[in-house]
Amino acid sequence: MQKRIVVKIGSSSLTGSRGGLNREAIAYFAGELAELYRRGVQPLLVTSGAVAAGFRAIGYPERPRKLHEKQASAAVGQALLMRAYQEALAGHGHVAAQILLTRTDFHSRKRIGSAVMTIEELLERGILPIFNENDTVSVDELKFGDNDTLSALVANLVKAERLVILTDTDGLYSADPRQDPNAIKYEAIGEISDDIYRMAGGSGSSVGTGGMRSKLDAARIATRGGVPVFVGRATETGDLADAAEGRGRGTHFTTTLSSMSVKKQWLGYLSRPLGALIVDAGAKRALAEEGRSLLPVGITAVEGQFHAGDVVEVRGPGGDVVGRGVVNYDMEDLQRVCGWPGPRVLETLNGLHRLEAIHRDEWISLG
């Protein structure tokens, strides 16, 4: 299989400060993507910019705040964005395919499998898949949050060699370098700790939605799936190729983990938990550190409405998220037997298929 690189380009890199597409920037990125092809790499592109490209064309003086105004802007801007990419890539002999997604598209493992098959077919035929969130129909509570997260999910899905997140800053600093001249740049990060998160601020520009914090979220998702991440700038010829090869002007997030299966990715980041199980310290340790299944005896409380086969979130005694798993009990049954030892559970619930509330094969740690 050819080396795969997922590239995410933010709104601020594609549009002017007041919206509208920057054709020169798109031509530049098309050339950089074409160079990846020449080096034998299969690029996949995750692009922002639909709302930013469309709000000026639709007549708004600035980026809209109301949902229906953003959706209208995206409806116009997405067409403009794809046409610009198609025209720029055609000059290098490449064809692009548009893939618009929402989080609900990924709530089903079957639909994820279908998406992967489509992506694989496009790559097999030498087509560049261009992903974007379907902002025209997305609502805030069902959105990925930003395209940084989407890019991490795509990188894990296709088992990419690297995720390259391009932005208007050259990496992660100890403070905002625009305000603090003594800010220190981090060249490489092996673990995204709470201290690293505290250094991240809000949105970086007036036309985008994702700041450095969202890029850290994306880096955490990707690296947990075995995909190293680059966050930084590309403005000169060869910058994207350098970033794809582990160099470049930015911060590199390393990982020693292996690639994450589609099943685990769906469970951890794409599924929608329908309830929560609160567990004691022993059960938390068994799940997070010892690779064991969750038994009813370790559960102290049950929340939500769910049935056997649904995904639930598991929280520790302090309310911290431990992970997610597929539950083997209906909510009413589990609520009845939580905290009970195994023999009593089996005696009370006749016809129980398995004792485990969550089997370790249907579990992913997220703490």
At 122, the amino acid letter reads L
Residue 242 marked ligand-binding: no
Residue 3 marked ligand-binding: no
Residue 320 marked ligand-binding: no
Residue 8 marked ligand-binding: yes
Neighbours of 300 (CB within 10 A): 13
Residue 259's Cβ-count burial label (10 Å; 0-12, 13-18, 19+) is: middle
Give the angle 131-108-230 at the CA atoms, nearest 5°.
40
Residue 292 marked ligand-binding: no
Residue 209 marked ligand-binding: yes
At 74, the amino acid letter reads A
Residue 215 marked ligand-binding: yes
At 298, the amino acid letter reads G
At 198, the amino acid letter reads R
User: What DSSP line would sit under 285-325, residue for residue?
Assistant: HHHHTS-PPBPGGGEEEEEE---TT-EEEEE-TTS-EEEEE
Residue 169 marked ligand-binding: no
Residue 213 marked ligand-binding: yes
Contacts of residue 268, defined as CB under 8 A and 6 or more positions apart, other chains included, come to 224, 260, 323, 324, 364, 366
Rg (CA), the chain: 22
* Torsion angle in degrees (nearest 10) through CA of 9, 12, 14, 20: 140
DSSP SS3 for 167? coil
Neighbours of 87 (CB within 10 A): 14
Say if CB 219 and CB 192 are below 8 A apart: yes
Residue 105 marked ligand-binding: no
Q: From CA 138, how far away is CA 317, in angstroms rounded?
A: 34
Q: From CA 227, how far away is CA 229, in angstroms rounded?
A: 6
User: What DSSP line would sit under 4-23, residue for residue?
Assistant: EEEEEE-HHHHB-TTSSB-H
Residue 125 marked ligand-binding: no
At 320, the amino acid letter reads D
State the binding site for substrate: 48, 135, 147
State the binding site for ATP: 8, 167-168, 209-215
State the binding site: 8, 48, 135, 147, 167-168, 209-215
